[in-house]
C-alpha cells in the first residue's frame, strides 16, 4: 500500500499575497486541488502538511470533496520539517510500505506520472526514487548529483559548487520513499546548510552512505513538475493548461477563432459545430450544444446553451440559465437563473433574472426583470409568442400570459392575461404633457 504526504506549508512569499499560495488557481482550480486530484488515484486519504496560513487552507480542504488528514509543521523551516510533520501523522495511522511525498504547488502533475514513479519504485525495490526532469535553465532547483550514473546526492542551488550548478537534471520535489527509510533518516536531518532549513533532500546523501538503493527517473514533460512560486509561473502554466483544453475541443469539432484569447475550464462541455469568438470565458460546467455561436467577449458561467443559440457579443450568463434551441441572448444582456424557450430572443441591453420565457417570444431592448425587492428574489414568468416592448420593467413576482404585447416603457406590476395589450398610462401622459409644453 502507498500513502501520500502533500507538502503545502511553505510561505510562498513571491506570490506577494494574503491568500495562501496553494489556494491560488491555475485555470480556475486551486493548486492544492489539482495536486489532490492526481494524488487520490494512489491514496484516497492523503496527509496534507500545513503551516503558513494553515487555518485558511484547512477550511478550504474541510469544505472540499477531499478526505485529507491535516498535519501541522513545527516552527522549523524546510521541506524536511514538513515531511517530519506529515510522517508523524502517517506513522500513527496504519503502516504502509511506500510513502509518496508530493509538493502542493505543482498543479500540472498527472496521476499517470505519480503512478509511474510508485511502480518504478516498487518494481525496482528502491529505497528512494526521485522524480527528476531536465531543464534548459535549472537555476533555483536542487540538482541531481550522480557518480558513474548512480545518484549520490541532491544539492540545493544555494549550496552547489560552480560545477554542480551546471547540472541540468533537477529534483522535482516529488519522491517515493520506503516507509522505514523516512523513519530512520527524518530524525537525523539538521540545519547545516546555506538556508538553515531542514532539507528533506539530505536523506539521499545519508542513505547513499549507508549503501541504500537510490534512483531518479526523469519525466519528459517538465511542465508537470513546474512549481508555482509567483504570478508569472501561475499564468504561464494556466495558459498552457488552457491551450490543452482548447486543443481538445478543436479536435472535437469546435471552432475557436482566437485560442490565445479564449478561456475554457476543464469541466465545460461543448458539442461540435460551436463557434467561439475572441474574448469568451466559459466556466463552472457550462454546456454548449451543437451549432451555437458564442460571440465576442461573452462570459458563460454554469449555464446550458441550446442548439443554434446566439450568445453575445458581450453577454454575461451567470449560473443556471437554460437557453433553448435557436434562442438568443444578445449584446450587453445579463442573465441569471433564466429559462429562455426555443426561438425566444432577449437581444439587447436587458437584465433577466429568476425568470422563465416561453417559446418564440421577444424581449424588447433595455427591458429589466426586476427580481429583487431588497430582501427576497422573486420569479417572473412570460408566456409564448409574447412581444415585450422596449424598456419594459417586469416587477417580480409577476406572470405574463401567451400572445401578450406590452408598449414601450411599460411598468408591469400585475399579471397580464393571455392575448392582452398592456401599457403604462402614466408614461403616456408624461410624454403627452411634454409635447403640450413644447408646442
Ligand atoms: C525543494 C527542494 C529542491 C527542489 C524543489 C522543487 C528541498 C530542500 N529542496 O526546494 O531540491 O528542486 O523543491 O520545487 O527540499 N514546503 C513545506 N514546508 C517548508 C518549505 C516548503 O511544506 O518549510 C513545501 C511548500 O509548500 C511546497 C514544497 O514544499 O509545496 C516546495 O517548497 P519550495 O520552498 O518551493 O522548495 P525548496 O525548498 O525551495
Ligand atoms: Ca524554500
Q: What's the CATH number of domain 2-225, 3.90.550.10, 3.90.1150.10, 3.30.450.40, 3.20.20.70?
A: 3.90.550.10
State if residue 2 touches ligand 1 by the CB under 6 angstroms criterion. Answer: no
Mean pLDDT over the full length of the chain: 95
CATH architecture, domain 234-433: 3 Solenoid (2.160)
Ligand 1 atom nearest to CA at 11: 26
User: What is the pTM for the complete model shown?
Assistant: 0.92
Ligand nearest to the CA of 103: 1
Q: Taking Cα atoms as reference points, which of 201, 235, 241 lies closest to residue 221?
A: 241
Q: Which residues, other chains included, contact 118 with Cβ-Cβ below 8 Å and sequence gap of 6+?
A: 2, 42, 98, 100, 176
Q: pLDDT tens digits for 239-275?
A: 999 999 999 999 999 999 999 999 999 999 999 999 9
Question: What are phi and psi for residue 95, nearest 5 degrees?
Answer: -70, 135
- CA 10 to ligand 2 center in whole angstroms: 7
Higher pLDDT, 430 or 292: 292
Pocket-testing residue among 14, 22, 79, 80, ligand 1, by greatest number of atoms within 8 A of Cβ: 79
- CA 239 to ligand 2 center in whole angstroms: 25
- CA 136 to ligand 2 center in whole angstroms: 21
Query: How much is the pLDDT for 311?
Result: 99
Query: How much is the pLDDT for 425?
Result: 78
Q: Which residues are catalytic?
A: 348
Query: How much is the pLDDT for 91?
Result: 81
Query: How much is the pLDDT for 92?
Result: 72
| Closest Cα to atom 25 of ligand 1 | 10
Q: pLDDT tens digits for 289-331?
A: 999 999 999 999 999 999 999 999 999 999 999 999 999 999 9
| Closest Cα to atom 8 of ligand 1 | 199
> CA angle at residue 157 from 151 to 160, to 5 degrees?
65
Q: What is the mean pLDDT of residues 184-198?
A: 97
Q: pLDDT tens digits for 58-111?
A: 999 999 999 999 999 999 999 999 999 999 999 876 667 999 999 999 999 999
- CA 304 to ligand 2 center in whole angstroms: 44
Q: What residue spans in the chain does CATH classification 3.90.550.10 cover?
A: 2-225
Q: What residue spans in the chain does CATH classification 2.160.10.10 cover?
A: 234-433
State if residue 242 touches ligand 1 by the CB under 6 angstroms criterion. Answer: no
Q: pLDDT tens digits for 363-388?
A: 999 999 999 999 999 999 999 999 99
Ligand nearest to the CA of 54: 1
State if residue 73 touches ligand 1 by the CB under 6 angstroms criterion. Answer: yes
Pocket-testing residue among 8, 10, 47, ligand 1, by greatest number of atoms within 8 A of Cβ: 10
Amino acid at each position: 500500500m502507498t500513502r501520500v504526504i502533500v507538502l503545502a506549508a511553505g510561505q510562498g512569499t513571491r506570490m506577494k499575497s494574503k491568500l495562501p499560495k496553494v489556494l491560488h488557481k491555475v485555470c480556475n482550480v486551486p493548486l492544492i486541488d489539482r495536486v489532490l486530484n492526481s494524488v487520490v488515484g494512489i491514496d484516497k486519504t492523503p496527509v496534507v502538511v500545513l503551516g503558513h496560513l494553515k487555518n485558511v487552507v484547512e477550511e478550504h480542504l474541510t469544505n472540499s470533496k477531499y478526505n485529507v488528514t491535516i498535519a501541522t509543521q513545527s516552527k522549523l523551516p524546510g521541506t524536511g520539517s514538513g515531511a517530519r510533520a506529515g510522517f508523524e501523522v502517517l506513522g500513527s495511522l496504519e503502516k504502509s510500505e511506500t510513502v509518496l511525498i508530493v509538493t502542493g504547488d505543482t498543479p500540472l502533475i498527472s496521476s499517470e506520472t505519480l503512478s509511474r514513479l510508485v511502480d518504478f519504485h516498487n518494481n525496482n525495490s528502491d529505497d528512494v526514487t526521485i522524480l527528476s526532469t531536465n531543464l534548459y535553465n535549472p537555476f533555483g532547483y536542487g540538482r541531481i548529483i550522480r557518480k558513474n550514473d548512480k545518484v549520490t546526492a541532491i544539492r540545493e542551488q544555494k549550496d552547489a559548487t560552480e560545477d554542480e550548478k551546471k547540472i541540468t537534471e533537477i529534483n522535482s520535489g516529488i519522491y517515493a520513499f520506503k516507509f522505514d527509510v523516512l523513519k530512520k533518516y527524518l530524525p537525523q536531518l539538521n540545519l547545516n546548510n546555506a538556508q538553515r532549513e531542514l532539507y528533506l533532500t539530505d536523506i539521499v546523501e545519508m542513505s547513499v552512505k549507508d549503501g541504500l538503493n537510490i534512483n531518479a527517473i526523469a519525466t519528459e514533460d517538465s511542465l508537470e513538475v513546474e512549481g508555482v512560486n509567483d504570478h508569472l509561473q501561475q499564468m504561464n502554466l494556466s495558459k498552457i493548461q488552457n491551450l490543452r483544453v482548447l486543443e481538445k475541443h478543436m479536435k472535437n469539432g469546435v471552432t475557436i477563432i482566437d485560442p490565445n484569447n479564449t478561456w475554457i475550464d476543464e469541466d465545460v462541455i461543448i458539442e461540435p459545430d460551436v463557434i467561439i469568438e475572441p474574448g469568451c470565458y466559459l466556466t463552472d460546467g457550462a454546456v454548449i450544444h451543437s451549432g451555437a455561436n458564442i460571440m465576442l467577449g461573452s462570459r458563460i458561467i454554469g449555464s446550458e446553451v441550446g442548439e443554434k443559440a446566439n450568445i453575445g457579443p458581450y453577454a454575461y450568463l451567470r449560473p443556471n440559465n437554460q437557453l433553448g434551441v435557436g434562442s438568443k441572448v444578445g449584446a450587453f444582456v445579463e442573465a441569471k437563473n433564466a429559462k429562455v424557450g426555443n426561438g425566444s430572443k432577449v437581444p439587447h441591453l436587458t437584465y433577466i433574472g429568476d425568470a422563465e420565457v416561453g417559446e418564440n417570444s421577444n424581449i424588447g431592448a433595455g427591458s429589466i426583470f426586476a427580481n429583487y425587492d431588497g430582501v427576497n428574489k422573486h420569479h417572473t414568468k412570460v408566456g409564448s409568442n409574447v412581444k415585450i416592448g422596449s424598456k419594459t420593467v417586469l416587477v417580480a413576482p409577476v406572470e405574463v400570459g401567451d400572445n401578450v404585447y406590452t408598449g414601450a416603457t411599460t411598468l408591469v406590476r400585475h399579471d397580464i392575461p393571455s392575448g392582452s395589450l398592456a401599457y403604462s398610462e402614466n408614461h403616456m401622459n408624461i410624454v403627452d404633457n411634454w409635447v403640450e409644453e413644447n408646442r
